[in-house]
Amino acid sequence: MGRSARQLPDGCSFHITLRCNSRAFLIARGVRRDLLLGVLHQAKKKFGFRLHGICLMANHLHLLLQPPQGRDLPRIMQWIGWYSAMALNRITGRCGHFWEARYFSTPIDPSDTRRVLATLRYIHANPKAAGVRKGFHDPYSNYGHYGRLEGDGLSEWHPAFLQLAPTLEGCARRYGSYCRHYRPRAKPARQSHWGSRLLRRDGGTGRKAAGRMGVAPGQQVLPWHGGGAEAPLPQEWQQLAERFRRTNGPRQNGLETSA
């Protein structure tokens, strides 16, 4: 049975979910998420889309983006998936598939402001719902861009956010209150079949074996010198990641523990 065709209406934002292959925790390290921020920055320059929501977790990522036209989304996501997989495989010493075969995308009409805000809140709540953070601020989520009204080098406020109040400060307060009322839904337990149990008994996901295989010959040259495990990122990408983390991460002032 073939895949269902994607809905690609013009003018919509798209909620994107992209998971690591086999749902392995392949982007748990900070340097790998820093690399993904650099890839998103390159993709924005290349394709000219708007990036409204970002959350990078240990084994998946969420984006809320608006392409210039709906039909541009597959090309944008193909480039992001291909380029990030090539770069991440290079610095981690892996080879083979990095992401799951297909990303999930849901179009959201700009007139449906309630759904836009609910999607933004769901994206920003991921670290808290997973127990990674007590509040919503996280170095790899752009909640701080909305709550602190600071630029992080990647994000743009969604028009639905700007309609919350007459002033930016009012929009931030109302969105912060809206997020504090979020209650995550319990996810159903994943069934464990005999094949999954056998794989776990035989050594799990096989990441150690993949690491020994090294870099596949013929991979495209990346925009920095050298290679191998956790190679330094380009200076531009490092500066972008530092700015993003500084803008969005928790701060030790005691005022943002619940937000």
Domains of the chain: 13-183+231-246 (3.30.70.1290)
How big is the CA angle at 37 (ends 112 and 79), to the nearest 5 degrees?
75
Name, of 108-117, 182-191, 207-216, the range with top average pLDDT.
108-117
Q: What percent of the chain has pLDDT over 90?
A: 71
- Please provide the average confidence, as pLDDT, over all residues in the chain: 86
pLDDT for 218:
40
5 φ, ψ to 5°?
Answer: -70, 145
**pLDDT tens track for 195-220:** 555 445 544 444 443 333 444 434 44
Tokens coding 123: 């994206």
Which is more confident, 58 or 188? 58
Phi-psi region of 154 (alpha: psi -120 to 50; beta: other; left: phi over 0): alpha
pTM: 0.83
Inter-residue contact 215 to 227 (CB < 8 Å): yes
